[in-house]
Structure 1
Amino acid sequence: MDRYLISFLGRSPKRDGSYRTTVYQMPEGPSKPQAYFGYLLQERLQPDCMVILGTSGSMWDGLLEEMELNADIKAPLIESLLEAVDEQTVTQSMLDHVMEQVNAHSRCQYKLLLIPFARNQSEQLAMLNIVADAITEQAEVVLDITHSFRHLPMMAYAAMQYLQAIKPEVRVSQICYGEYNEDIKQGQFVDLSGLLHIQQWLNAATLANNTGDLTDIASLLNTSSIGPDLKKASFYMSVHRSDQARSPLKKVRQALQEESLDAAAALLKPVLLKNTDWVNESYIYQRQSAQAKHAITRKDYLRTSIYAFEAYLTRKVRESGAYPGQENNYAIRKDTQKTLDGDKVFRKTAEGSAYILLRDLRNALAHGGAGTQADVQQLLNDQNKLEDKLNYMLKTLLT
């Protein structure tokens, strides 16, 4: 897997014909004076490729001045860019020529890319595509946001999120910033990688809120005190064994309320509590009913129909009084369903009609077809009607 360093190149004023240099306090100690922070990172990280993003007026000549090249190669390249940098008219063809010369004499391969100023949505989208096109399908990426317009670090961060979305095997491992302290005229290396972790937590929270899937949260909290129980529960939930998930989830909820948690667990606490509140219901059918109602708020119609149907059968077994404590017994549930299916008087009632429709709808959704019943086919062709009817069935069968 190739390692990439992505860095921005800004525009700085010259003093006495040169760009200002800064000594940066790096993790290993003070750096040598440098005008371009990206080169300090390159020396430190030794990337296979360095992607440098700049505008038509960025200090491309200053970039070359600090590059480790023979003077007879460097000087003509700088001369070719001086006027264009001053007039802010650097073109990609100019940079392509520089790349060709530089890469022939460098272990680290450079990609010098012209980007728009990203002042509107069109330019912002163009920048995302430029960054994405510069990185291979499998890569480790370090991002440097030191030298750029103030709004570009936000765009760079968005570009990293976009990059990982369209190229899942790309791993952004670090975000770096060279902070300059005007009071002491020195810089400081700042590691902003916490932003990556926060984004992972937010992505996991979004997945949980949108699907009820706790797998990513469990993975992120794997080493925390609640990790093992959450992992076990998320597996049970993924195979629709919610009653087996209840015990570990109760332990998770108790820990969330009582323990001092690390940053990730504390941030995700509201999401976990919201998506697991059904475990506090006393009876099985109430817990299944709560899960059905959670599912429909997420527009997860398959899980809504599955949980609602199971909740109704559980309720009927319990209400019969004939099988206390055996609501989950497979044979008893099948007999109960068979009785309901064959009761012609019951099927003519509002409750019976709702039950038959829910049964047929669940079967159609579970098997991925439209079903043979005309009423089911109509519902599966109209989202609004489907959602309205499911809400009606939840109210009729589970209230």
Structure 2
Amino acid sequence: MEKYLISFLGRTPKNDGSYRTTVYQMPEGPSQPLAYFGYLLQERMQPDSMVILGTCGSMWDGLLDDMAIPDDIKNPLIEGLLEAVDEQRVTQEMLDHVMASIEPHTPCRYQLLLIPFARTETEQLTMLQVIANAIPDQAEVVLDITHSFRHLPMMALAAMQYLQAIKPEVRVTQLCYGEYNDDTKQGHYVDLSGLLHIQQWINAASLAEHTGDLTEVADLLSNSTLGSDLTKASFYMSVHRSDQARNPLKKVRQALETESLNSAAALLKPVLLQKTAWVNESYIFQRQSAQATHAMQRKDYLRATIYAFEAYLTRKVRESGAHPGQESNYQVRKEVQKSLDDDRPFRKTAEGECYLLLRNLRNALAHGDKGTQADVQQLLNDQARLESKLQHILDQLLA
């Protein structure tokens, strides 16, 4: 997997015809004085390709000043850019000419790419697309936000999120910033990679909130004592075996109450406790009802109907009193369901009508069709009506 270093090029004041040179305190010690922080990162990280993003007025000529290429190549290129930079009319064609000229003389590939000022939504979307086009489907990416307009670092972070969304095999591993202290006239290397980790946790929390899927949370906790139990529980939940998920989730909840989670993991503690609260319900019916309610809140109608139907059968088995402790027995549940299906007087009651509609909705959603019943077909063509009716069913059958 190739490594890409993405860096920005701003339009900062020039001193004596060039950028201000700065010594940066790097993790390994003071750097050599350089004007462009991206070159320090290039030397330190040895990327296969360096993507430099700038506007039509960025200091493209100054970028070439510190580039380690022969003067007979460098100087004509600088001269060709001076006027265009001053007048803010650098074009991508000019940058393409520079790239073709320097390519045989540089240790890594360069992509010098023109971006808009990102002042409007249209320009911001264009910038995202420029970055996405510069990175292949599989790559390690390091982002440097040192030299840019003040709003561009926010855009850059959004671009990394967009990049990983459309290219899942791209790994953004570091976010760097060269901080300059005007009092000491020196710079300092700042590793902002924690923002990337925080975003991973936020994404995992969002997935759990909107789908109930805890697998990404489990992956992020894979090195903790919670990870294996959460992974196991997530699998059981994905195959609708919530009873088997209960014990590992109890262990997860116990660990959350007693252990201190490190760094960004602590952000997910409230989400995990909320999403797993159902395991503390005493009865299977209550646990299944809670899961049906959570699914409804997420607008996951398939899981809502599945959990609601199972919860209702569990309730009827328990209420019958004929099979104590057998609420999960498959054969017992089938017998109870058959008795409900065959009970004509019951089917004419309000409860019976709700039961039949829930059963038919569950079957239609599970099989991915509209069902043969007219009332089911109508509901599956109208989200608002479906949601209203399904909530009514849950209120009637699971209360």
- In the other structure, the counterpart of 1:302 is 302
Larger deviation, residues 86-95 vs 190-199: 86-95
**1:182 corresponds to which residue?**
182
> Is the partner of 2:323 in helix, strand or coil?
coil
Where do 1:13-28 residues align within 5 Å?
13-28=13-28
Residues 52-71 of structure 1: CA deviation (Å, up to 9, x unaligned): 00111111111101001111
Equivalences for residues 207-218 of structure 1 within 5 A:
207-218=207-218
Offset of residue 248 of structure 1:
1.4
Query: What 5-or-longer segments of structure 1 have no aligned partner?
Result: none
> Given residue 6 of structure 1, which amino acid in structure 2 is its aligned partner?
I
1:383 paired residue number:
383
CA contact (8 A) 2:18 2:65 kept: no
Whether the aligned pair in 2 keeps the contact of 1:221 and 1:264 (CA below 8 Å) is no
Match of 2:321 in 1: 321
2-side partners of 1:251 and 1:263: how far apart?
Answer: 21
CA shift at 1:106, angstroms? 2.0
SS at match of 1:19: coil
| Preserved CA contact (<8 Å) 1:8 1:54 | yes
Looking at structure 1, the residues matched to 343 and 272 of structure 2 have their Cα atoms a distance apart, in angstroms, of: 42
Normalising by structure 1, report the TM-score.
0.98
Q: 1:390: Cα distance to partner?
A: 0.6
CA distance in 2, matches of 1:139, 1:92: 24
2-side partners of 1:311 and 1:262: how far apart?
Answer: 37
1:51 is matched by which residue type in structure 2? V
Q: Once the two structures are superposed, what CA deviation does each residue of 1:235-267 show, in whole Å capped at 9, x if it has no partner?
A: 111111101111111121122122222123311
Aligned to 2:372: 372
CA contact (8 A) 1:288 1:310 kept: yes
1:98 alignment counterpart: 98
Give the AA of the match of 2:323.
Y
C-alpha separation between the residues in 2 aligned to 1:239 and 1:305?
Answer: 15
TM-score calculated relative to the size of structure 2? 0.98
- 2:150 is aligned with what amino acid? R
Aligned to 2:128: 128
For 1:192, the equivalent position in structure 2 comes to 192
1:1-399 mapped onto 2 (5 Å cutoff): 1-399=1-399
In the aligned structure 1, how far is the partner of 2:17 from the partner of 2:396? 81
Alpha-carbon deviation of 1:29?
1.1
2:353 match: secondary structure: helix
Q: Deviations over 1:110-130 (max 9, x none)?
A: 111111111111111110011
Inter-partner Cα distance in structure 2 for 1:149 and 1:166: 26
Counterpart Cα distance in 1 of 2:161 and 2:283: 43
The amino acid that maps onto 1:301 is Y
Greater alpha carbon shift after TM alignment, 174-183 vs 10-19: 10-19
What is the identity, as a one-letter code, of the residue corresponding to 1:360? N
Name the SS of the counterpart of 1:83 in structure 2: helix
Specify the SS of the correspondent of 1:104. helix
Question: Could you say what secondary structure the match of 1:25 adopts?
Answer: strand
- 1:297-348: per-residue Cα shift (whole Å, max 9, x none)? 1000000000000000000000111111110000000000010000001001
Alpha-carbon distance in structure 1 between the residues aligned to 2:265 and 2:35: 41
Residue identity opposite 1:324 in structure 2: P
Give the percent of matched residue pairs that are identical in Structure 1 and Structure 2.
Answer: 76
Report SS of the residue matched to 1:178. strand
Structure 2 counterpart of 1:126, one-letter code: T
Supply the AA of the counterpart residue of 2:279: V
Q: Distance in 2 between matches of 1:107 and 1:179?
A: 26
State the secondary structure of the residue aligned to 2:99: helix
Shift of 1:14: 1.7
Q: Secondary structure at the match of 2:225?
A: coil
Instruction: For 2:58 and 2:32, locate their aligned partners in 1 and report how far apart those are by CA, in whole Å.
Output: 22
CA distance in 1, matches of 2:34, 2:233: 53
Distance 1:16 1:398 in 2: 78
How many angstroms apart in 1 are the aligned matches of 2:53 and 2:129?
A: 12
Q: Which amino acid aligns with 1:391?
A: Q
CA contact (8 A) 2:11 2:57 kept: yes
Give the superposed CA RMSD. 0.9
Q: Is the 8 A contact 1:364 1:371 kept in 2?
A: yes
How many residue pairs get aligned? The number is 399
Alpha-carbon deviation of 1:231? 1.2
